Amino acid sequence: MTSLRMCPAVSGDPIPITGKVTNFESSVNRMDGKGVTTATIAEDEAGVRLDRWFRRHYPALSHIQLEKLLRKGEVRLDGKRAKASDRLCAGQSIRLPPQVRHLPPTPAATSPKAQDASLIRTLVLHADDQVFVLNKPSGLATQGGSGLTRHVDGMLDALTEGRRQRPRLVHRLDRDTSGVLVVARTVPAAASLAEALRRRDANKIYWALVTGIPKPQSGTIKLALAKRSFSGGDERMVPAERDADDAKAAVTDYRVLGVAGRSYAWLAVKPVTGRTHQIRAHLAAIGHPIVGDHKYGGAAAAGSGEITDRLHLHARSIDIAHPLGGRLKVAAPLPPHMMKTWQLLGFDPDTQSNPFAARKPASP
């Protein structure tokens, strides 16, 4: 009886991945007399698009070059013509013509420094065969950027644990925001988690300390945002008319969980949409910037007295559909500077209540 190979229907990766796949040559068979080789798709690459597979393994091959090879039938999938958008199945064979094999391969992964490898392991809150959940510290970037050489993405090789593929980020947190960060261990898991985020089948709750006491003490902020450039190269998200060309709808739910006189309020915040700096821009727009958020709150947001002048925004918990079924629910303890503030103001840092449990998300 001929065995059937099932190819999962999954969506694309939420964060483009450019490489760092180890032991690729072990999946490439010997070339024939014409210089043609075949590569066999491994189980942990099932579900990835054909063009993204080439982007990882042969980044020097442009999309235009790949499309030309596909049109001419020089790149084939299981001996048949293929399209760039085709999803791969474990065990399938890709025909690689000589012009591909002569291109520079994906550079070998660079192992993180011993100190960074040790750090990333201490951040793991949850681990299974599909997913890691980390507690990202405040001040550590999620991904690299201009002038950034130390970031979570650069440390993920330390979590490979002998697998062919390195873990991959599913979403991001601002550099100075701490808390839960989901990392997929396989391509199908990344696609499944990205789809859950796209469908809004994920509840992310943040804790924030803001200046003043919002009125009402629970509500929904519906305010479109647009990116604007300011002097010195600074870019910020600012309120905009919803019909403006570059405006994006943004919705944020909030609840006051505690107050300290008239000076500070502890908020639980749930972003319904996922715009850049959404929580920070929305809370500043209603006159209650997050403590330590000088970008959006200016001098009015500065910490004073024993309250550290650092951003008081923490991704407290996530409840998301697990790639293998059921729900993944993880909560992250507060970072040291916020823990100190909570103790100083008499707030309970261990509360597990979900103030949004009985309320359906608002629509943008």
Give the active site residues. 174
CA separation for the pair 204, 120 (Å, rounded): 22
Nearest one of 249, 253, 247, 257 to 270, comparing CA atoms: 253
CA 298 to chain centre: 28
Do 281 and 296 meet the contact criterion of CB atoms below 8 Å apart? yes
The pair phi, psi for residue 315, each rounded to 5°, is -75, 95
Q: Which residues are within 8 A (CB) of 102 and not within 5 positions of it... i.e. 6 or more apart?
A: none
Count the Cβ atoms, other than its own, within 10 Å of residue 187: 28
Report angle CA 242, 247, 253 to the nearest 5 degrees: 70
> Which residues lie across from 80 on neighbouring strands?
77
CA separation for the pair 296, 280 (Å, rounded): 7
CA separation for the pair 252, 219 (Å, rounded): 8
Asked if the bond preceding 239 is cis, omega within 30° of 0, the reply is: no
Using DSSP bridges, classify how beta strands 93-96 and 37-40 pair: parallel, antiparallel or unpaired: antiparallel
* 243, burial (CB in 10 Å: exposed 0-12, middle 13-18, buried 19+): exposed
Q: Tokens 């491994």 correspond to what residue?
A: 42
Do 103 and 60 meet the contact criterion of CB atoms below 8 Å apart? yes
